[in-house]
Amino acid sequence: GENVEQHPSTLSVQEGDSAVIKCTYSDSASNYFPWYKQELGKGPQLIIDIRSNVGEKKDQRIAVTLNKTAKHFSLHITETQPEDSAVYFCAARDSGYSTLTFGKGTMLLVSP
Amino acid sequence: NAGVTQTPKFQVLKTGQSMTLQCAQDMNHEYMSWYRQDPGMGLRLIHYSVGAGITDQGEVPNGYNVSRSTTEDFPLRLLSAAPSQTSVYFCASSYSRVRPTDTQYFGPGTRLTVL
């Protein structure tokens, strides 16, 4: 099955800085890569996703890049704000079972 | 729309007790799933369903049962609770498993402690 590795496990930045979270996946046939944000005491919420036929996608301060050859994808947050503080999960869609496999999460702390 | 709802929010069980975690969605979604979240382990799939009457196992199915008698409901049953099942449980749903970009919507979670 699919295996997703996520780094770093924690990331501390100053407000206004950029933050980058990286994930690698094992199944070269995976075709869908979403990113979820989980605030304390809540369920994960989709913030951005990318399909395997696209190299980059942007939504305001958030962007995701995908390198299919290297089998890795990254989340970029620019101009970070304290409300960006949360746990972020990457995931990959397993082509064999049509299920999502999640990374172990990154706790992002944005200090004012 | 209420989205995905889960009950209860918190539950404490003794080892060996059984219970059912409830999950319901009002979005007419075909695909529903259960995950458990443990510190440092991310979200791991327990069971999923692609439609009423159809269920399948995920990565960590042992000790759990599911059924899907209606499109709206997908309960998770713990047959004989063990301390290793202490976790936060999330239910999720999406419109279809066939379309690869379908967004999965998560419920607010149930925090379960087994003593």
Write out pLDDT tens, residues B40-88: 888 999 999 988 999 999 999 999 999 999 999 999 999 999 999 999 9
Pairing relationship of beta strands B10-13 and B110-114 according to DSSP bridges: parallel
CB-nearest to B90 from A43, A101, A105 is A43
Which residues on chain B are in Cβ contact (under 8 Å) with A98?
97-98, 100
A49, B42, A3, B43: which is closest to B34 by C-alpha?
Answer: B43
Q: Using alpha carbons only, what angle is made at residue A33 by residues A29 and A37, rounded to the nearest 5 degrees?
A: 155
Q: Which of B56, B64, B49, B55 is nearest to B112 (CA)?
A: B64
pLDDT in tens, A59-106: 999 999 999 999 999 999 999 999 999 999 999 987 665 688 999 999
Structure-block tokens of residue B75: 């309960």
Q: Do A6 and B42 touch (CB under 8 A)?
A: yes
